Structure 1
Amino acid sequence: MPDKVLVYSRFPKSLMLRIGQHFELLDAGGKPPHEVIAKEDLASVRAMITQGSSLLNGEMMDGLPKLRAIVCYGTGYDGIDLKAAAARGIAVGHSPGANASSVADIAITLMLAAVRRLVVADSYVRSGDWAAAKPSPMMRPQQGMRGRKVGVYGLGEIGRKIAARAAAFEAEVGYFSRSRHDVAYQYFPSLEALAEWCSVLVIAVRAGPETHHVVNADILKNLGESGYVVNIARGSVIDPDALLAALKEKTIAGAGLDVHAREPYPPDELTGLPNVVLTPHVGGHTLESHQAMQDCVIANLTTFFAGRPLAYPVSS
């Protein structure tokens, strides 16, 4: 009989099909498990699958007395109280690097779309303004990528791939990270220094208390009126009020955002600004990324139920 696994977050059923071939899934559909799943079934649950951004605290863990493994679908785990899990003997696993290439691709896509104003250009054609030769200040020539200074905040696996892709566009690349790495890119000792140097700041840092709203009004001011910010990490890294003010007041030139402070509800004012490119957290949403993330989930659950350490544990 397959081992029971609680699906804690809301996932499209298509993403759970492969995993469901290996385990008996108890799908809570994103609702509190005790509201939709029988008490006797939850009492025997030893492992769960969750999105890393879903809030999972000690109180929720206590409601599953036999829980010993939390497996994140994806690389992030910022919603999980790791100290509470460790105190209860619960192992936490994730899918490190599984979607790194796809997320790096969307970062570059957002950067190009923002810098070259592709959304504005698309609207200019569709509206008939181009055919009518109607002048548009948003269609004035902009600096391209050659020689542009791109700063990457966070040089993990995703950050490295972003840096390599940006360099291929003949841009200068610099970075700030918790530690210095043996790479060809220029290192900066602080986020403030990186923002002051670059004209595109790409956020690829892991979310957590230490990075909450770390990109604030001062950082955006350092970026300057010709600067752009691109976020493919977590919405919590940027102060949303400071970002909105910077975009409206043209403290910065624009932004490309795949993640948002309150998903799926970006601020209404943000959606009305022409200097912002918005996508619905689709950085890792490719066939190959989902295949890789599912492989990691299956590997983590398989090793757990075999009595071995998780294949891809979170290292805090």
Structure 2
Amino acid sequence: MTPQIALLVLNTLTEEHQARVAQACDATFAQTDESRATAIREKGAEFRAVLTIGLLGLTREEMEAMPKLEIICCMGAGYEGIDIEAARARGIVVVNGRGTNDNCAADHAMGLVIATVRNFRRLDKLCRDGVWRTSIPQPTNVSGKRMGIYGLGTIGEKIARRAQGFDMAIGYHNRRAKADSAYRYFDNLLDLAAWCDILVCAAPGGAETKHSIDAAVLEKLGPEGYLINIGRGSLVETSLLAAALRDGVIAGAGIDVYETEPQRPEALLDLDNLLITPHLAGWSPEATQAQLSLFLANLEGHFTGSGVLSPV
């Protein structure tokens, strides 16, 4: 990679990775809305590449302000915030970081399953308060339950593999059945929710999936069912989830994503049948290093003519 390639970086990076990117490119780092707008306004004519994430994306108007733009890279697998049609119309290559954090995200999802179903959050508090096990209702098993996976992509497949180690039956819902999958396919979310004990959301964000986990799905999941979401916060309306947890529509939830990110979801904070983590299911030193390596390899492949490794 040559430093002459002007790169706009919209997402946050560790100091080490920021230094590595600055070595590889003529990089401009713009992680706030204000600095992003300023960078595009003042240096848009120079940028040939953009690094972003799915949630931050890149709009048609921003692409139009960058006439030399050739490639848009997403650190993670998601790319829902990028105007793909606008990029394709311009011949701009779009790549993502698929495969770099699948194991990390699947590990985290399975951790949320166990901790939510066994209600580790409440048990920890009760133990600290001096309450002994004979005064606590017994939490249910994880092993032997039915897991429904909404979004059986690479991460969903790895979640399923982990669930099989707990003797779980696996069902899933995608836009279409996967021909090579041994798991049970459901052509709609309602039927999947009615069948499973634990519904794990690993679907992408965007208009097509927004609020797809609606009141009817939660009702089908039922008062002994659990919702796990490591996909996108937009899949579930916050107020709806809060009501379902408070009213016993479902037994509990474990979420790594929520609509108000990065602000905390106020409506959910007082619920002790909810376990919440701050959108880091796919984050680990190993995963972010793999994402950086793939990003740099995609840049090099594009600008040397050998081709990108993970096109969208």
- Give yes or no for the alignment of 1:285 onto 2:283: yes
| Preserved contact between residue 10 and residue 30 of structure 1 (Cα < 8 Å) | no
Question: Corresponding residue for 2:162?
Answer: 165
| Preserved contact between residue 40 and residue 65 of structure 2 (Cα < 8 Å) | no
TM-superposed deviation, 1:24: 2.3
1:299 alignment partner, SS class:
helix
- Give yes or no for the alignment of 1:64 onto 2:66: yes
1:229 alignment partner, SS class:
strand
CA distance in 2 between partners of 1:59 and 1:228 (Å): 41
| Preserved contact between residue 192 and residue 222 of structure 1 (Cα < 8 Å) | yes
- Residues 34, 234 of structure 1: alpha-carbon distance in 2 compared, 3 angstrom cutoff: closer
Q: Which amino acid aligns with 1:91?
A: V
| Preserved contact between residue 70 and residue 91 of structure 2 (Cα < 8 Å) | yes
1:43 alignment partner, SS class:
coil
Question: Corresponding residue for 2:171?
Answer: 174
TM-superposed deviation, 1:308: 4.7
Residue deviations 1:40-94 (CA, integer Å, cap 9, x gap) = 6432110010111114211111222211211011111011111111122221111
Segments of structure 2 that go 5 or more residues without pairing to the other structure are none
| Preserved contact between residue 148 and residue 199 of structure 1 (Cα < 8 Å) | yes
Aligned residues: 309
CA distance in 1 between partners of 2:22 and 2:134 (Å): 56
1:142 paired residue among 139, 144, 165: 139
- Residues 59, 201 of structure 1: alpha-carbon distance in 2 compared, 3 angstrom cutoff: same
Matches within 5 A, 1:237-316: 237-314=235-312
| Preserved contact between residue 8 and residue 33 of structure 1 (Cα < 8 Å) | no
CA distance in 2 between partners of 1:55 and 1:280 (Å): 19
- Residues 71, 107 of structure 1: alpha-carbon distance in 2 compared, 3 angstrom cutoff: same
CA distance in 2 between partners of 1:114 and 1:166 (Å): 14
2:289 alignment partner, SS class:
helix
Deviates further, 234-243 or 302-311: 302-311
Question: Corresponding residue for 1:192?
Answer: 190
- Residues 126, 313 of structure 1: alpha-carbon distance in 2 compared, 3 angstrom cutoff: same
CA distance in 2 between partners of 1:194 and 1:66 (Å): 46
CA distance in 2 between partners of 1:50 and 1:171 (Å): 36
Q: Which amino acid aligns with 1:117?
A: N
| Preserved contact between residue 52 and residue 79 of structure 1 (Cα < 8 Å) | yes
Provide TM-score, normalisation by structure 1.
0.92
CA distance in 1 between partners of 2:56 and 2:15 (Å): 17
CA RMSD, Structure 1 to Structure 2 (Å): 1.9
Provide TM-score, normalisation by structure 2.
0.93
TM-superposed deviation, 1:100: 0.5
Q: Which amino acid aligns with 2:126?
A: Y
Percent of aligned pairs sharing the same letter: 39
